[in-house]
Amino acid sequence: MIERVCAPDHILCAWGLTREFGGVQALRGVDLHVARGTITGLIGPNGSGKTTLFQVISGMDRGATGTISFDSESILGWRPSEIYRRGLARTFQLSRVFPELTVLENLVVAGHRRDRSAAERALGLLERVHLREYAAVLGKNLSYGQQKLVEFLRVLMSDPALILLDEPAAGVNPTLRQTLWEMVRHLNGLGTTFLVIEHNMEVIADLCSDVYVLSDGEIIAQGDFASIRNNERVLEAYFGKSRKHGAA
Amino acid sequence: MFNGLRRLNGRWVGAVLVTFVLLAPLVINDYHQSFLLQVFMVIALAQAWNLISGMTGYVSFGHAAFFGVGAYAGALFLTWGFPWWLAVIKGAGIAALLAVPLGFLTLRLRGPYFAIAMLGLNEVGRIVATLWVNVTHGGSGLTLSPELLPSLDVKYFTMFGLALAATLLVAWVHRSRFGLELRAIREDEEAAEMVGVNTTRDKVIAFVLSAVIPGAVGAVYVMYTSYLNPASAFDNARNIEMIVVVLFGGSGTVWGPILGAGTVMILRELLWAQFPSAHLAALGVLLLVVVLYLPGGLISILRVRQQKRPDARPGESP
Amino acid sequence: MTAPLLSIHDLEVSYGAVQVLFGVNLEVHAGEIVSIIGPNGAGKSTVIKAVIGLVEVQRGSVEFDGRDITNLPAHVIPSLGVTYVPQGRIVFAQMTVTDNLEMGAFLQHDSRKRREAVDSVFEQFPRLYERRSQPAGKLSGGEQQMLAIGRALMLNPRLVILDEPSLGLSPKYVDLIFEHLLTLKSQGRTLLMVEQNAARALELSDRGYALELGYNRFVDTGKKLLANDDVRRMYLGGA
């Protein structure tokens, strides 16, 4: 068997990730390598398996086969809380803020257990996005956009090395969206790696140095956005293939 | 008036109550002392249920199972010659020991399935107690001879001690990091796991803690009644009482179960103590009141309203 | 030119504070197949939901057969002759195929007419006839989609609206379903559909509307849209 090694400048490597749900192959042998310190994009049409891939990498879905190496450790089969503690965090497409906990509690619970200054750090983060005065507000009383922002801050509490962002700006108004992307850029400048699922191609073009395209459970293209955008296979994946046209 | 109540400092109220409890045996008669003992018992059980169900969100319909285990274990150790306090400790210990594997099994289940599994456990307890005749004397029950039993005062203070310990435990958990994690589990267990909370470990710990108390309470109870049979040890009414008392008082809070226990017991004394079969029906009515009018329990009337959001800043959508 | 069967004027729809449609215009003439295509977040499904009353329209209007149906409650729409095949093959899994079909005709009180409708669906979809007594949950994805379409036909609608009919189907079933849609057209029905698989949808359609971010981007005949490279590039933020 060929020994698969993740290059040191790659923070996340996945080989042959396969996930089947009752006869349907959601992921078919996905290979993925995310370089350290990048903002890498993950795009693909609806139903292509992007969220499933995130579920598998983050440990929420333990039913996949293959290999996942994060920061030189094999993490397939680890439980999500362990993966989080190791430095890999993930946000959800639909806000999962804890509704009956205050904003501050939402953040503190995501910090390190023995961190005595967790509350301070949390307040600092809230300050950065002008939400400090919401610290004592219950999660359910925030607007949806604010919830998504708080959810984003939540995963920052453990200072992860890699963050998986699942459509972080969906349902968020333009002003908060700006704030969010600015924070992503800022953190990336400080060394945090991001893998981002996004449908907004402008954002992908603007932010991502590397893009993976997933279609029907397979990676069909990888590269910078300019080359992706003109890739026949990618266009076909999004647009579909008519039977009357021959091979492009 | 309510403004004044809101500013009540819990510690002062607590201090007053504790003083009252400690001094009460000097002035009240045995009947009232027994009544208070029963109030303490309900408080202790309620706080235990509060821990796993109110705070962690795993609603148990069968926590009387641990009460029953503690009662039988305590009774047996007593008859085997152990001093009463050791029997209580051992009773609690057996309950806790059982709670570990049971916790790992049942806590895999969510919501209604967990509730029913716990109900099932209670039934299993009752059946085992009925069939294991060599040890438990089955349906005819165990009788404890009076010379083994401690005095009413001792039982009174012990039960009070358990109620106090249970309340302090809930108070501590409430303020602690552990309690924050439990509440996060209650809100959204998957999301909690995703932000680093080891949900399995936390749930099992909460479950075991919620079993230890009923175990101890059961052991003291059997010394109070001096008689135990499967029906009274694994009494479904006790299950329901635990739930209604907490919901009525205020689930997930520290004072809620105390308020609830006090109110229910006083109402019982005043209204239906003469008609024990009406007890369950009365609990049902209280439950209806909670569901229809007081979802937050009694304590929500006294509490400061939770803050609404500050006004939206310009440029942000409200 | 005859008046369109369905027309949508300057439609604006918001979900709470987030506006999704910014003045969409669309027409469907009797006997046509019209497709709405576009990248994610374009608002395609929202247009459809506005027509059948599942979302509130803030501005603009929807007219069907000369009548203003804007913001009518959803349960009124089928009685006007418009039925809907929702996304994801929503069938009643525990009920048999026949019962599922009957559910589609609950407005029809005459049981003989109901049975006739069931029979005509079975004629159109022999596969469903074969499985008529099986619980719908046991059918394959493609068969369930046929069932969902059959159910929408039970009230003999003039306009059938389909939300992503090919979603999650294997290529074989996509072919089959689209053939059935062509047959429906030959029977004189009018179809409006939202489709992910733009190429196949446009192949089938008389006309198409390409939406992007809540706006009309392109409108043309199916063939012309198919040949238009800009339409393809729209999906990846180009053009």
Q: What does the pLDDT look like over B195-206, one tens digit per residue?
A: 999 999 999 999
C172 touches A at CB < 8 Å: no
Nearest beta carbon to residue C167 from set A47, A202, A239: A47
Query: Three-state DSSP class for A91?
Result: coil
CB A237 within 8 A of CB A214: no
Nearest beta carbon to residue C237 from set A24, A202, A239: A202
Distances from the Cα of A39 to the Cαs of A87, A192, B201, C1, in angstroms?
16, 9, 35, 54
The confidence score (pLDDT) of residue B305 equals 45
Beta carbons of A235 and C200 less than 8 Å apart? no
Does pLDDT of B185 surpass 50? yes
Beta carbons of B192 and A109 less than 8 Å apart? yes
Beta carbons of A239 and C232 less than 8 Å apart? yes
Domain count, chain C: 1
Q: Report the DSSP pairing between strands C59-64 and C67-68.
A: antiparallel
CA atoms of A29 and A67, how far apart (whole Å):
10
C121-139: average pLDDT? 91
**Which secondary-structure segment (H or E) carries C20?**
strand C18-28
The confidence score (pLDDT) of residue B129 equals 94
CB B297 within 8 A of CB B249: yes
In angstroms, what separates the C-alpha of A117 from chain B's closest C-alpha? 13
Amino acid identity, position A206: D
Give the model confidence (pLDDT) of C59-98 as tens digits: 999 999 999 999 999 999 999 999 999 988 888 999 999 9
Residue listed under structure tokens 């309203």: B305
Going by C-alpha positions, the residue among B195, C18, B185 that lies closest to residue A144 is C18
Going by C-alpha positions, the residue among B184, B174, B306, B177 that lies closest to residue B251 is B174
Amino acid identity, position A135: A
B98-111: average pLDDT? 94
Does pLDDT of B313 surpass 60? no
Does pLDDT of B314 surpass 50? no
CA atoms of B212 and B200, how far apart (whole Å):
18
CA atoms of C95 and C106, how far apart (whole Å):
15
In angstroms, what separates the C-alpha of C184 from chain A's closest C-alpha? 20
Task: Tell me the average pLDDT of chain B.
Answer: 88
The confidence score (pLDDT) of residue B7 equals 54
CA atoms of B146 and C229, how far apart (whole Å):
96
Q: Mutation test of the interface with chain A: which of C36, C37, C40, choosing the one with the most A Cβ atoms within 10 A?
A: C40
CB B254 within 8 A of CB B167: yes
In CATH, what class is B2-16+31-307? mainly alpha
Does pLDDT of A28 surpass 60? yes
The confidence score (pLDDT) of residue A2 equals 53
- Residue C131 sits at φ, ψ, to 5 deg, of -100, 20
B192 touches A at CB < 8 Å: yes
The confidence score (pLDDT) of residue C1 equals 60
A46 touches C at CB < 8 Å: yes
- Residue C198 sits at φ, ψ, to 5 deg, of -60, -40
Give the residue extent of every domain in chain B. Answer: 2-16+31-307
Does pLDDT of A168 surpass 80? yes
A238 touches C at CB < 8 Å: yes
Does pLDDT of C160 surpass 60? yes
C45-58: average pLDDT? 94
For residue C163, the cross-strand partners are C194
3-state secondary structure chain B: CHHHHHCCCHHHHHHHHHHHHHHHHHHCCHHHHHHHHHHHHHHHHHHHHHHHHHHCCCCCCCCHHHHHHHHHHHHHHHHCCCCHHHHHHHHHHHHHHHHHHHHHHHCCCCHHHHHHHHHHHHHHHHHHHHHCHHHHCHHHCEECCHHHCCCHHHHHHHHHHHHHHHHHHHHHHHHCHHHHHHHHHHHCHHHHHHCCCCHHHHHHHHHHHHHHHHHHHHHHHHHHHCEECHHHHCCHHHHHHHHHHHHHHCCCCCCHHHHHHHHHHHHHHHHHCCCCCHHHHHHHHHHHHHHHHCCCCCHHHHCCCCCCCCCCCCCCCC
Which residue range is the domain that position C77 belongs to? Answer: 6-235
Nearest beta carbon to residue B196 from set A84, A99, A101: A84
Beta carbons of B188 and A141 less than 8 Å apart? no
Going by C-alpha positions, the residue among C195, C201, C194 that lies closest to residue C221 is C201
Beta carbons of B310 and A99 less than 8 Å apart? no
What's the CATH number where C145 sits? Answer: 3.40.50.300
Percent of chain B scoring above 70 in pLDDT:
92
CA atoms of A78 and A80, how far apart (whole Å):
6
Identify the band that residue A248 occupies on the pLDDT scale cut at 50, 70 and 90: very low
Task: Tell me the average pLDDT of chain C.
Answer: 91
Beta carbons of A173 and B317 less than 8 Å apart? yes
The confidence score (pLDDT) of residue B315 equals 35
Give the model confidence (pLDDT) of A79-95 as tens digits: 999 999 999 999 998 88
Quick check: is C28 in a domain?
yes
A15 contact partners, CB below 8 Å, separation of at least 6: A4, A31, A66, A67
Q: Report the DSSP pairing between strands A88-90 and A162-166.
A: parallel
Taking CA–CA distances from A26, the nearest residue in chain C reads C168
Does pLDDT of C235 surpass 70? yes
The first and second tokens of residue A95, run together, are 């806000």
Distances from the Cα of C170 to the Cαs of A217, C71, C184, in angstroms?
14, 36, 21
Beta carbons of C16 and A144 less than 8 Å apart? yes
Q: Measured between beta carbons, which residues in chain A are less than 8 angstroms from residue C232?
A: 235, 238-239
Quick check: is C1 in a domain?
no
CA atoms of C144 and C137, how far apart (whole Å):
8
The confidence score (pLDDT) of residue A5 equals 80
CB C219 within 8 A of CB C209: yes
Beta carbons of B307 and A138 less than 8 Å apart? yes
Task: Tell me the average pLDDT of chain A.
Answer: 90
**Helix intervals (H) in C125-221:** 126-130, 141-153, 171-186, 198-204
Give the model confidence (pLDDT) of C170-223 as tens digits: 888 899 999 999 999 999 999 999 998 999 999 999 999 999 989 999 999 999
- DSSP secondary-structure letter at C228? -
The confidence score (pLDDT) of residue B8 equals 60
CA atoms of C212 and C136, how far apart (whole Å):
36
Q: Mutation test of the interface with chain A: which of C178, C195, C235, choosing the one with the most A Cβ atoms within 10 A?
A: C235
CA A107, A113, A119, A125 dihedral sign is negative
B272-291: average pLDDT? 86
Distances from the Cα of B181 to the Cαs of A26, A104, B101, B115, B157, in angstroms?
33, 13, 22, 21, 33
Other CB atoms within 10 Å distance of the CB of residue A178? 12
Identify the band that residue C15 occupies on the pLDDT scale cut at 50, 70 and 90: confident
What chain A holds in terms of domains, given with CATH numbers, is 10-245 (3.40.50.300)
Q: Measured between beta carbons, which residues in chain A are less than 8 angstroms from residue C203?
A: 242-244
Q: What distance, in Å, lies between the first and last C-alpha atoms of chain A?
A: 37
CB C31 within 8 A of CB C223: no
Q: Measured between beta carbons, which residues in chain C are less than 8 angstroms from residue A242?
A: 199-200, 202-203, 226
Does pLDDT of C110 surpass 60? yes
Query: Three-state DSSP class for C195?
Result: coil
B30-57: average pLDDT? 93
Identify the band that residue B307 occupies on the pLDDT scale cut at 50, 70 and 90: very low
Identify the band that residue B149 occupies on the pLDDT scale cut at 50, 70 and 90: confident
Quick check: is C219 in a domain?
yes
Beta carbons of A45 and C200 less than 8 Å apart? no
